[in-house]
Structure 1
Amino acid sequence: MARKPAKSQTVNVLIVGQAGRLQYEALLFAASLAQSGSDKRFRLFVAEPQPSALWPNDPRIKDAQLRELLGSLNATLLPFENRHFGADYPYGNKIEALFALPKGEPFVFFDTDTLILDDLGKVPFDFDRPTASLRRENTWPQLEIYGPGYGQIWKSLYDRFGLDYESSLDRAQPDEYWRRYLYFNAGFFFYKCPHAFGQRFLDYALEIRDDAPEELALQSLDPWLDQVALPLVIHSLGGGRDTLPPGLLDGSVSCHYRTLPLLFAREDQATVDYLHQIAAPNRIKKVLKTYEPFKRLIYQNRGDKVRALFDQDDLPAQEKAIRNKIKREGFWLR
């Protein structure tokens, strides 16, 4: 059974911040965490990739005022080096940033496009049994006619890394239905040590990228590489689907909104109101308004127009349909 960490246990919260959209999302995340009522044992680190040959442009946060605001919101900027990924696969940041965190201390990684809505202390993390976000669609693998099925593809990966495939299956789901197979969105994950998790994540991701089993020959790994490796990492470390109660992360405690147009389109009114609340202080507003999509959606009420396109109680089943409707109306800003 998942257990609540001791009150004295420090938990390092990690997001990635860099030049461009992510730096503004990082500011929103930090403001939401500060507003959420989470106590100071949840320490926020904003991982910042450093210039290297893997980045054609300097990826660091350049806005001095934004950097200062992050500090005032109790966020610590955490520089890290890209040795294996970079501009060609920026999702690799969530892997390489883990090595910059203190070794042996529990962590929770969140995608930067997330809001913390309530006290993280309400989440009974069991840091010995990792898991990740189940708010996902069947994005990978995409089956081809005459190609291998879900089971054959996933089993090839478990076999490659010497993992027990059978124990990963959800036998309540039918054979060759995508939910039967362990698959997560990488919007959050956690474990008792970032270095142990990061090394396993890195090893698996590089192996899949550079020498994938032949069953993956028809499959795209961009941008899915992190989400292909992640369930293997979690399974290998003794985690799984059900190590957290449902309805907390990706629910009442956190919201992985993905993009602001999607937040306005599909999240509940309380989350929209919370966004406006944390974005309202003048010192935050002054910085967020310099980013045109946030300026239009939050402060010039374009978000309300996006929201009016949908019945939040009867949304399209697929995210793609929501995105396409927003784009047709000219409100896709990110």
Structure 2
Amino acid sequence: MANAPFNVMIVGQAGRLQYEALLFAASLRHCSPGFAGRLFVAVPQPGPLWDKDPGIRDQDVLQALADQGAEILPFESKVFGAAYPYGNKIEALQVLPEGEPFVFFDTDTLITGELAEVPFDFSRPSASLRVEGTWPKPTLYGPGYAGIWQSLYTRFGLDYLSSLDLSQPDEFWKRYLYFNAGFFYGACPRAFGKRFLVYAQSVRDDPPLELAGQSLEPWLDQIMLPLVIHSFGGGRDALPAGFLDGETSCHYRLFPLLYARESDRVVEVLHEAAAPNRIKKVLKGYEPIKRMVYQGRGEKVRALFDRENLPRREQAIRNRIKSEGFWMR
């Protein structure tokens, strides 16, 4: 059963992200004709926190986005800007329509199925579980995972114990609520974004003592996201598996990695979404798409790997592609 309409937000700006945004929009229109909400491309505006204009100025890109039904949504960077561009996803939520359910996606994502049929419960937010234990990295002298995470829940008055997955062993990273910020969703973008910003700014400016020796760069958004989701009554089990990061979306991250490890369906969607001449003309302005998609380099990368037997570590995949001279980003 399809959801009531909801909005989708991605962040676009000059450079790589504007081309990824166009490809995302094209894949959404191609694969999800039932999507009845609005697609917003949130674009940071020039200001004191940016040393260069981050906006999308390429008129061909802007027209192509408009042709896909995308709406440009300018926003002001008041807290992060160039010093932490991942903060764009936090600050941009403040300009989405208040009280309307939203789904955020990173631009390096393809929609591969009918988004309207994903069984979102917007009253219980969640995010991507396609994640590795990237943070924290407990030091020899402590505290461990529990001490670090508990200090954050305590900081914001949240119930720490109810966030734990007790089927996982103590001091194993999967026991603690942790997401990839490649997608997340909720009932009201402004309420979600306001709390996200308060939490992130608090920890950035005044980290708990337990975080001594822990890097917040580039992990700040992913550290704060589980706390925000938990505070709104969401969690790891709020969305049935198999839809996002599955049949309905693919967070590919970089084009060489897409060709190396993603399914035939993802490659098929990429090529179909990028095929129309009016889109191809614009996407050719970005060298990795031009070479990988239109000039066949991606298929050469794909031939290097057996999708049923990929190297366990991503670095090994990257190294193989680089050794063949096919790496691009």
TM range (shorter): over 0.9
Residue 108 (structure 1) aligned with residue 115 (structure 2): no
Distance 1:38 1:90, change over 3 A: same
Equivalences, count:
329
Q: What's the secondary structure of 2:103's corresponding residue?
A: strand
Residue 147 (structure 1) aligned with residue 142 (structure 2): yes
Distance 1:298 1:317, change over 3 A: same
Structure 2 counterpart of 1:290: 285
Q: What's the secondary structure of 1:87's corresponding residue?
A: helix
Aligned partners of 2:111 and 2:248 also within 8 Å: yes
Structure 2 counterpart of 1:302: 297
Q: Which of 130, 134, 144 does residue 135 from structure 1 map onto?
A: 130
Q: In 2, Cα distance between the equivalents of 1:47 and 1:320?
A: 31
Q: In 1, Cα distance between the equivalents of 2:186 and 2:286?
A: 34
Q: In 1, Cα distance between the equivalents of 2:312 and 2:210?
A: 29
Q: In 2, Cα distance between the equivalents of 1:246 and 1:68?
A: 36
Q: Which moved more, 1:261-270 or 1:21-30?
A: 261-270
Structure 1 counterpart of 2:32: 37
Structure 1 counterpart of 2:10: 15
Q: In 2, Cα distance between the equivalents of 1:316 and 1:142?
A: 23
Structure 1 counterpart of 2:314: 319
Deviation at 1:61, TM superposition (A): 0.8
Q: In 2, Cα distance between the equivalents of 1:223 and 1:284?
A: 32
Structure 1 gap segments, 5+ residues each: none
1:165-203 per-residue CA deviation (whole Å, 9 max, x = no partner) reads: 111010111111111110000011111100100011000
Q: In 2, Cα distance between the equivalents of 1:196 and 1:325?
A: 44
% identical aligned pairs: 66
Q: Which of 241, 246, 251 does residue 241 from structure 2 map onto?
A: 246
Amino acid at match of 2:68: L
Distance 1:45 1:31, change over 3 A: same
Amino acid at match of 1:113: D
Q: Which moved more, 1:206-215 or 1:311-320?
A: 311-320
Structure 2 gap segments, 5+ residues each: none
Q: In 2, Cα distance between the equivalents of 1:182 and 1:66?
A: 38
Residue 333 (structure 1) aligned with residue 319 (structure 2): no
Q: In 2, Cα distance between the equivalents of 1:34 and 1:160?
A: 42
Deviation at 1:40, TM superposition (A): 4.5
Deviation at 1:145, TM superposition (A): 2.0
Deviation at 1:325, TM superposition (A): 2.6
Deviation at 1:310, TM superposition (A): 1.6
Q: In 2, Cα distance between the equivalents of 1:317 and 1:140?
A: 19
Aligned partners of 2:10 and 2:106 also within 8 Å: yes
Aligned partners of 2:9 and 2:105 also within 8 Å: yes
Structure 1 counterpart of 2:196: 201
Amino acid at match of 1:99: Q
Q: Which of 110, 117, 126 does residue 112 from structure 2 map onto?
A: 117
Aligned partners of 2:97 and 2:189 also within 8 Å: yes
Amino acid at match of 2:164: L
Correspondence 1:139-178 to 2 at 5 A: 139-178=134-173
Structure 2 counterpart of 1:232: 227
Aligned partners of 1:5 and 1:126 also within 8 Å: no
Q: What's the secondary structure of 2:74's corresponding residue?
A: strand
Correspondence 1:261-276 to 2 at 5 A: 261-276=256-271
Amino acid at match of 1:102: P
Q: In 2, Cα distance between the equivalents of 1:155 and 1:328?
A: 43
Q: In 1, Cα distance between the equivalents of 2:316 and 2:146?
A: 28
Correspondence 1:211-222 to 2 at 5 A: 211-222=206-217
RMSD of the alignment, in Å? Answer: 1.2
Q: Which of 52, 56, 60 does residue 51 from structure 2 map onto?
A: 56
